[in-house]
Structure 1
């Protein structure tokens, strides 16, 4: 009844004495639960009508068993029970006030009531962060710790007072935080399983230092597998694993998924001392392949135990844990490709996709894509899968393509999908067209803004540019290159289409859109190194025959005096871009020569008319190698070379002066020195 206002509560007591009502004793058919609730009304008295209340409060005689029968159900009286009734000349408001007073007195009689009440008042003040000056906050925190020190355990298992400890952790210094953690040693597991206490452990995880973090992690050794299945504690365990555990601690925790013999029990009575524990962490590995190599006789029980734990969480739809993703990858890497276990596990992954349910399921794949181990597992599943499997997996990501492109792990799923799908038309419609904004974005400005944000983003540019640049060193990191190399090795056995044919088909789909974007946003893109790399790749690698608009737009960037601040020539990335485009291809370090594109780009034809009046200034600028390229490239027409050389001869003295420098800090312009030798 607490907190619920009774409906139609009497506002006063009638003076007259009513006659006692008679209630039929005839039994009626029992009501359903919801009907019984309705008959009780909102007043919560389970069968007393308002008239009955008035009668009782007016002193209308004793209420017998017969009188309290409602809906055919009799209510027996309890001699020890204290029936609620309004006293003579007492209003409902006064009755409620009396009830609140009783509740307050009951709370005050509990242990630490005064301390909890005082601490809650401090918490109420501290939680208004913007309204509390820094100096006052220090005083309040100090006062709060005077109250809770030595009593932390009494506070944390109550839903209201645990917030006080959370607040204390938030504003405390590291020494004060260590005091709290020290007092709660031995209780952290119980707190993580508590409906309210788990938030305190989460606060410890997010605000601790190396000392408190180690103390927290060690509390969970030997209990990981049990707690990862707990509805309250599972997320706390995964947060500890993901956020604060060191590499050695992660290995200790993950090994508990491999069997009971791998669980390290760090509790009272354990023979494992702290030095031995630290030594064990340094030599312990969670690499299941290495563990099975050392213990081949344990292969079957370990794999069965691990699969059982994995499958349990998948069936419960608890698939967002980083620890689960790490365990799944370890299991998959330990299997022999093509074996029954390998095939069965791929079927378990696909089993989460249900065409009949709304949205088609697929939460497992979507969760996996955004973690390091999970992303690798999805990439391998795509590589090993059949054409039908790959299409099924890719469809689960249809609403998350853009989000995945900006994620450091999920982007590799998109790249792998583009790299292994033989149906390039599906790759374009499902992934590339979404990245290019060709579906669902009618406004052109909005579409171009979105694509520009991808091109200049370290993560998102990879799935957009991969079809153009492949595994270029400036685009793909060493770790990403290793994963893609594994995918390519698997692809040779599971895909029918040749890689060159796949790339050519993909370029035919995306070239027109990329060239159009380059022509319209060249001025913005040239301001960043990522944008310059994009412009270079688009002009060199796209398959479209008509590149005139894009070439003209990029060449127009060279307009003006190249020695002035803010000019693209002062930007090293823009200078490299123009030089590469003038050369007509990328420099190949293996052959020590430029690999010209086919058909030829002919960028100098568009660039020279823009810079011909200032070719000497370009020769003396930070981007002097653009002019060197004009004289050396096989992709430049002979007439342009002759005209450029004649113009440079007229400004030879100026070029020679820039080439020498001042002899002190300025060592001269390297490009200008090369030009002096050529003219």
Structure 2
């Protein structure tokens, strides 16, 4: 160890001064609201927990000291004996030791204990422990006994345990060992027992959120075990003491309704929420869903300066918001209301998490919102372009990952965006009206022009992986038949586009009677039909609308497909195979009125009499009907 110097002693002194300062600041924050003083006995409860831990530490310290003095195996035996005697001298020590001996038999997993023996051991433990739960619940090994008992006990016994521990749930929630027991009670407990626990913890949730152990209990309670009504009440408790004590008076009111009635109430609620959020972020709880729900309440009533304050608190941990629906809503709201400088900070923190952001059920909403509202499209491309390029195939074959990439050339198309999702995204767009100046159409076109090369290069290399996937096939179909996308292509990219069409054509070459041929995928026929038809089907008008810009699809593609993949020697096979017959129907509908289709129609007429009349081949039956 380095010798103590004046410089070291000064540094040590300064560190001692800074730590109390931090605690004082936290205590000031907590004293801002009377809620923190509701339970005056909390310090006594903490003393109970710490005294048990001190007993354990003292016993272990005694053994350690003896180990230094002792020599050889005889001394080790003596040390163990001494530790055992010390444990027996504690409160309920002999009973706990007896319970442990039975528990050691019950906890055996290999080989599994027969049910009858397990029930017998459970009954034995129950009789020994039912009067000593208070002495068991806060100790490292003893609390595991009660956990095992809860796991294997009947519903009635679990209810008895819940009732026996009334008054101690806050202690359990803040105990390093007791929290696991509390979670077990919630997991195996009934609706009624969970209500007992939630009601007892009511009024302490804000304090628990600032506690290292308690925060995890509150999170599990909110996410896994609380009812919808209880969740709302838990969040209202973060508003302040008035809404915790008089919970029934405000249960039907939203935060906007409460704040609209009084500026003073709005200031108090926003101050309490921001204090809880700030303290929880400092404790490392940024990823908690209950905290995201509290943040969602806060941003509903926050003014411009408070939005900036939230961004300052969260920008480094912004990626921890996007995996929950509440967190994604908060992230989208903050991005929409942020200044250009603040958006830069947010995007920088999301850069290393782009792959998870894009494929996450809720995170992809945040990414789409970035594409919709951030004016600096160069920054967006620099931030996410590399990740899109690297993970393109994985994204377009993912249910959620494909949506942001589809947005860039299709917008919020109803085929991929439900009404609720569109409504939310349009709401965020409206929020950005004061901070985003660029026209949305121009912004989308700029993004598409920057990502075009990534799209074409990735599809050119990965089409063989994309086409066999249902989501990927649908994405590729939409991309290749998008006039908006095609209109962005320069001469070099048009050549890449044509090369992709050639690759796609060759991909379907081969014997269609083989089970591994790609035509047997149910979505392959739809994919080919979209390229052969030469336009997009308008469901409202019930007609095919020809492409405005794309000249390579329709008749040109159908002609090449027939010339290179199908000829007079295998045309009948394609018709008589159920999975491929509809492709021939698509070719007939496109080429029947075109001069380029003369050879196809001639070959088709020659084999008409040989077409399978099996009624199960719907494609062949439709083709015969069209040829009449």
- TM-score normalized by the length of structure 1: 0.72
In structure 2, the residue matched to 1:632 is 589
Give 3-state SS (helix, strand or coil) of 2:544's partner: strand
Which of residues 233, 236, 258 in structure 2 aligns to 1:252? 233
In the superposition, relative to structure 1, how do residues 643 and 173 fare at CA in structure 2: closer, same or farther (>3 Å)? farther
In structure 2, the residue matched to 1:511 is 452
In structure 1, the residue matched to 2:20 is none
Written as runs of structure 1 = structure 2, the 5 A alignment for 1:322-341 is 322-335=289-302
**Contact 2:371–2:444 (8 Å) recurs in 1:** no
Give the distance between the partners of 1:209 and 1:553, measured in 2 at CA: 60
Larger Rg: 1
**Contact 1:563–1:569 (8 Å) recurs in 2:** no
Per-residue deviation, 1:174: 4.7
In the superposition, relative to structure 1, how do residues 157 and 509 fare at CA in structure 2: closer, same or farther (>3 Å)? same
Give the distance between the partners of 1:580 and 1:85, measured in 2 at CA: 81
Give the distance between the partners of 1:290 and 1:556, measured in 2 at CA: 63
**Contact 1:540–1:601 (8 Å) recurs in 2:** no
Give 3-state SS (helix, strand or coil) of 1:587's partner: strand
In structure 2, the residue matched to 1:600 is 551
CA RMSD of aligned residues (A): 3.6
**Contact 1:584–1:597 (8 Å) recurs in 2:** no
Give the distance between the partners of 2:357 and 2:71, measured in 1 at CA: 63
Which has the larger share of helix?
A: 2
Give the distance between the partners of 1:404 and 1:149, measured in 2 at CA: 49
**Contact 2:358–2:364 (8 Å) recurs in 1:** yes
Per-residue deviation, 1:98: 4.5
Which of residues 63, 84, 96 in structure 2 aligns to 1:104? 84
Give the distance between the partners of 1:324 and 1:261, measured in 2 at CA: 20
Give the distance between the partners of 1:161 and 1:643, measured in 2 at CA: 86
Count of equivalent residues: 551
In structure 2, the residue matched to 1:158 is 139
Give the distance between the partners of 1:476 and 1:637, measured in 2 at CA: 36
Give the distance between the partners of 1:563 and 1:178, measured in 2 at CA: 64
Give the distance between the partners of 2:220 and 2:476, measured in 1 at CA: 42
Give the distance between the partners of 1:285 and 1:229, measured in 2 at CA: 27
Per-residue deviation, 1:349: 2.0
Give the distance between the partners of 1:96 and 1:617, measured in 2 at CA: 85
In structure 2, the residue matched to 1:393 is 346
Higher relative contact order (CA 8 A, sep 6+): 2
In structure 2, the residue matched to 1:568 is 518
**Contact 1:615–1:644 (8 Å) recurs in 2:** no
Give 3-state SS (helix, strand or coil) of 2:503's partner: helix
- Which sits farther off after the overlay, 373-382 or 211-220? 211-220
Which of residues 326, 332, 336 in structure 2 aligns to 1:379? 332
**Contact 2:333–2:428 (8 Å) recurs in 1:** yes
Per-residue deviation, 1:137: 5.1
Per-residue deviation, 1:236: 1.0
Are residue 233 (structure 1) and residue 233 (structure 2) matched?
Answer: no
Are residue 199 (structure 1) and residue 154 (structure 2) matched?
Answer: no
**Contact 2:255–2:297 (8 Å) recurs in 1:** yes
In the superposition, relative to structure 1, how do residues 394 and 199 fare at CA in structure 2: closer, same or farther (>3 Å)? same
Per-residue deviation, 1:402: 1.4
In the superposition, relative to structure 1, how do residues 296 and 147 fare at CA in structure 2: closer, same or farther (>3 Å)? same
Give the distance between the partners of 2:361 and 2:588, measured in 1 at CA: 42
**Contact 2:460–2:500 (8 Å) recurs in 1:** yes
Per-residue deviation, 1:155: 0.7
In the superposition, relative to structure 1, how do residues 384 and 517 fare at CA in structure 2: closer, same or farther (>3 Å)? same
Give the distance between the partners of 1:611 and 1:397, measured in 2 at CA: 49
In structure 1, the residue matched to 2:402 is 461
Are residue 559 (structure 1) and residue 559 (structure 2) matched?
Answer: no
Per-residue deviation, 1:296: 7.8
In structure 2, the residue matched to 1:645 is 601
Which of residues 289, 300, 305 in structure 2 aligns to 1:344? 305
Report Cα offsets for 1:445-491 as digits up to 9, x if no partner. Answer: xxxxx543333222222234332343233433343222211123334
In structure 2, the residue matched to 1:362 is 316
Per-residue deviation, 1:528: 2.5
In the superposition, relative to structure 1, how do residues 91 and 140 fare at CA in structure 2: closer, same or farther (>3 Å)? same
- Which sits farther off after the overlay, 578-587 or 113-122? 113-122
Give the distance between the partners of 1:111 and 1:258, measured in 2 at CA: 42
**Contact 1:628–1:675 (8 Å) recurs in 2:** no
In the superposition, relative to structure 1, how do residues 124 and 418 fare at CA in structure 2: closer, same or farther (>3 Å)? farther
Give the distance between the partners of 1:637 and 1:384, measured in 2 at CA: 55
In structure 2, the residue matched to 1:419 is 372
Report Cα offsets for 1:611-661 as digits up to 9, x if no partner. Answer: 234344444534544333323349x99244333222222233454824xx2
In the superposition, relative to structure 1, how do residues 153 and 385 fare at CA in structure 2: closer, same or farther (>3 Å)? same
- Which sits farther off after the overlay, 525-534 or 304-313? 304-313
Give 3-state SS (helix, strand or coil) of 1:248's partner: helix
Which of residues 120, 126, 129 in structure 1 aligns to 2:109? 129
Per-residue deviation, 1:247: 0.7
In structure 1, the residue matched to 2:31 is none
In structure 2, the residue matched to 1:356 is none
Report Cα offsets for 1:103-143 as digits up to 9, x if no partner. Answer: 32232233332332233345445555344445465554454
Written as runs of structure 1 = structure 2, the 5 A alignment for 1:436-475 is 436-437=389-390, 451-475=392-416
Q: Which runs of 5+ in 1 are unaligned?
A: 1-28, 34-81, 266-276, 336-341, 354-360, 438-449
Per-residue deviation, 1:397: 1.1
In the superposition, relative to structure 1, how do residues 487 and 190 fare at CA in structure 2: closer, same or farther (>3 Å)? same
Give the distance between the partners of 1:465 and 1:328, measured in 2 at CA: 30
**Contact 1:536–1:580 (8 Å) recurs in 2:** yes
Q: Which runs of 5+ in 2 are unaligned?
A: 10-61
Give the distance between the partners of 2:114 and 2:397, measured in 1 at CA: 40
Give 3-state SS (helix, strand or coil) of 1:594's partner: strand
In structure 2, the residue matched to 1:540 is 481
Per-residue deviation, 1:326: 1.1
In structure 2, the residue matched to 1:612 is 567
Give 3-state SS (helix, strand or coil) of 1:258's partner: coil
Per-residue deviation, 1:427: 1.6
